[in-house]
Amino acid sequence: MPASRSVVIGVDSSTQSTKAAAVDADTGELLALGRAPHSVGGAAGARESDPGEWWTALAAAVREAVREADVPAASVTGIAVAGQQHGLVTLGADGRPSRPALLWNDTRSAPQAAALAARLGGPASWLERTGSVPVASMTAAKWQWLREHEPDRAEAVRGVRLPHDHLTELLSGAAVTDPGDASGTCWYGTATGAYDPDVLDLIGLDPALLPAVAPSGATRVGTLTPAAAEALGLPRTVAVAAGTGDNMAAAVGLGLGGAGLLDHPVVSLGTSGTVFAATRARPADPGLAGFAATDGTYLPLGCTLNCTLAVDRFATLLGLDREDAAPGGGVVVLPYLDGERTPDLPHAAGLVTGLRHGTDPRAVLGAAYEGAAYTVLRALDGLLAACGLDPAAPAVRDRPLRLIGGGARGRTWTETVRRLSGRPVVVPAADELVALGAAALAAGAVTGADPVALATAWGTGTGALLPPVPRDEETWDRIAAVLAAATPTLLR
């Protein structure tokens, strides 16, 4: 490829690994994908990672992507990072992380979240201010946990960042975030487009410790620092975009904008399960995260903690391959191995009921799929209702779901979602939508073009339409009954 052609790098820094996509900025062709792992530690609700591992993995993944794409380093013109949401990165006086980052799925801050939700006028006031009610995953609750459990460390903090903010700062030297990822903190006001001073006062967080909020994730915040250019093997002239959170980047990669009331509902099956849609409306529902999109419109989102990783754990416990599953029949599994966020059951454990002597282990695994898929689809119904739509209305049921994430590549996941939703499903042909969305943000930083329009022209969100199958009402109702009966116990 000639050096005059523009190549952009989209980085997906997720919970357990980093991926870097080298993309032709003109056509959207994925030229190569670099990968590098990083680790998660902790027990009894703790989930932490060393941010230094993220940077090492980013550099390794970018170098691999450029090498495998077989392009000159000089052809790379832009880079953007999409990172796991909500993580708390604290910086010391030397600008380095002062402790391991508290991750989105660290549930130790559940008591702090509940206490915060009762303040400032209660949940309704939080929805009006930030679009979300504090839960354990939100960054504000994690900061409050740090203040209460590690006060000396909290007092010594000289900077507070989200994971993607931290990596963007290492790339460019700029302390900056975007509206999308900032909206997952519960200290950013989606109504005002700025940090909420009352929330910051409540949690004792000096706004001087926070990054500036760029107008969008495609905003050019600088170029590579000398140290970053050396680590990545790229020219210092590479433009660095503000970047965003992983869910916001996936929306960009799908070509979702805020043009209408509700644009293409999405079900993402990963370590967590998420449902989201782009809208210009600002729904306020305590069961949803009222996120901003990276361009300042809205991306209401429901999130479950237990999805593919939890089901894979059941497969391991049963000694089965993840695809060696059968419908659960009379077995019900609520695979809430990490507690649960939606429904808000942070102290829950997994539950299995309906076992008999003759139960096939494959049915237990199938029931784990069903329990996880039910939880995600239940969150989708809540999202649709919050946007003013009746989830049971034929016009709504006939609207295809976009199914993305690692689970979307699995036959059993796809068929379970189809069976429990009764809806048509589109599985985009493009892999790595988070990284591709980040690449579109990078291209926007280079050219000034709208990244959603770029991704739409690239066609990264298109795929074959799978027709609907009859909805399995019996399984749906059975899981709903078990969850309703078990909730008082799971809340303990």
Contacts for 145 with CB less than 8 Å, ≥ 6 apart: 102, 108, 109, 112
DSSP H or E run through 111: helix 110-117
Helices 411-421, 361-386: axis angle to 10 degrees equals 50
Looking up residue 189, the CATH number of its domain turns out to be 3.30.420.40
pLDDT value at residue 287: 81
Segments forming the whole domain that contains residue 161: 7-247
pLDDT value at residue 111: 96
pLDDT value at residue 102: 98
What CA dihedral angle connects 353, 359, 364 and 370, to 10 degrees? Answer: -80
DSSP H or E run through 483: helix 473-490
This prediction's pTM: 0.86
Total structural domains within the chain:
1
Q: What DSSP string runs through 248-264? A: HHHHHHTT--SSSS-EE
Burial label, 156 (beta-carbon count in 10 A; 0-12, 13-18, 19+): middle
Handedness of CA 383, 387, 393, 398 (dihedral sign): negative
425: nearest Cα among 384, 397, 458, 389: 397
140 belongs to a structural domain: yes
246 in active site? yes
pLDDT value at residue 341: 82
Which of 196, 246, 344, 472 does the annotation list as catalytic?
A: 246
201 belongs to a structural domain: yes
Q: Is residue 278 within 8 Å of residue 264, measured between CB atoms?
A: yes
pLDDT value at residue 82: 98
pLDDT value at residue 489: 81
486 belongs to a structural domain: no
pLDDT 10s digit of each residue in the chain, 492 long?
A: 444 689 999 999 999 999 999 999 999 999 999 999 999 999 888 999 999 999 999 999 999 999 999 999 999 999 999 999 999 999 999 999 999 999 998 999 999 999 999 999 999 999 999 999 999 999 999 999 999 999 999 999 999 999 999 999 999 999 999 999 999 999 999 989 999 999 999 999 999 999 999 999 999 999 999 999 999 999 999 999 999 999 899 999 998 875 545 667 899 998 889 999 888 877 778 888 889 999 878 999 888 999 999 999 999 999 999 999 999 999 999 999 989 988 888 889 999 999 999 999 999 999 999 999 999 999 999 998 888 888 889 988 888 999 998 899 999 999 999 999 999 999 999 889 999 999 999 999 999 999 999 999 999 989 989 999 999 999 999 999 999 999 888 766
424 belongs to a structural domain: no
Q: Is residue 216 within 8 Å of residue 160, measured between CB atoms?
A: no
pLDDT value at residue 39: 92
46 belongs to a structural domain: yes
- 46, 47, 247 from 40: Cα distances, Å: 10, 6, 20
Report the 10 Å Cβ neighbour count for 492: 7
